[in-house]
Amino acid sequence: MNDLLPSQLLEGALLRDKEFAWALEFFPTALNRAPTYGYACLGGQIWFSLEDDSLYEAYWLEAEATERVEDEPLA
């Protein structure tokens, strides 16, 4: 699917319009594995992908990164 990301991070991922999205049940695993490969989740939005291939954004839900606080661990 993508030669840039390790296959262990792509488990449960969908690629659409050059962006990856993970099925809800796979996201925690990918999130926990990311630091092992030097990646981190800096935020994002919640989207719903329906069977008819349409996408809906829960625009009222998002997670955005802030500056690292003092003594915050890297992982």
| Terminal alpha carbon distance of the chain | 26
Selection from 12-16, 27-31, 59-63 with the highest mean pLDDT: 27-31
* Res. 29: pLDDT tops 90: yes
**Encoding tokens for residue 50?**
């329906």
Q: What is d(CA 2, CA 47) in angstroms, rounded to the nearest whole number?
A: 21
Model confidence pLDDT, tens digit, residues 31-53: 899 999 988 877 777 777 778 87
The residue written with tokens 């993970």 in the block is 22
Please compute the mean of the pLDDT values over residues 18-37 and round it to a whole number: 88
Where are the chain's structural domains? 7-62
Give the model's pLDDT for residue 62.
63
Read off the amino acid at residue 36: T
Mean pLDDT of the residues in the chain? 80
